[in-house]
Amino acid sequence: MNGDAMKFRRRILKRRFVEGDSGGVLGGHFSVQFVGLYKLRYQEGDHSAVAEVEPLKGEVNWMIYLDSILGWAPPFEDAVLARQQVDQIRANVILALDAMGVRYVASGIPGPASTPS
C-alpha cells in the first residue's frame, strides 16, 4: 500500500466513505462516498462531482465510470474546470477507493490503462 493510501486509511469513517487530508482541486480537504448503488460523490467544501458506478459480481465489486466526472454538480455546474483539475478529481477518487479497499475496475483514468484493484 502506498503512503497516500495509508493517510486515507487513518481517516476512514466507515467502509463507504473516506476523507483525504489535502490535495483537493480547490486546495483543501475532500471526501469520497458511495451514494446508493449507482453514484459515487466526490465532495470538496460545498462543491461536489458525481461519478456513475455499477455494482458487479465476482472478484471485482464495482465498475467506476471516472469519465462521467466532467465538472462540478449543481449549483456550480457553470464553473469551468481545467482538464488538469478534472484529472486530479479522478486521481483523488482512485486514491480514496484504494484506501477503502474497494475492488474495482475504472474507466477514464488519466495515464496508463486501468487494471482491477
User: What is the per-residue pLDDT across 59-117, written as a single tens digit (0 to 9) for each?
Assistant: 888 999 999 999 999 999 999 999 999 999 999 999 888 888 888 999 876 554 444 54
Residues 13-47 have pLDDT tens digits of: 345 667 666 556 665 688 898 888 899 999 998 99
Evaluate if residue 51 carries a pLDDT over 90: yes
Evaluate if residue 11 carries a pLDDT over 50: no
What's the pLDDT score for residue 114?
Answer: 42
What does the DSSP assignment read for 63-112?
EEEGGG--SPPTTSTTSPPPHHHHHHHHHHHHHHHHHHT--EEEES-SSS
Q: Model pTM greater than 0.85?
A: no
Evaluate if residue 1 carries a pLDDT over 90: no
Distance CA 27, CA 69 (A): 19
Write out the three cell numbers for 11: 481517516
What's the pLDDT score for residue 101?
Answer: 84
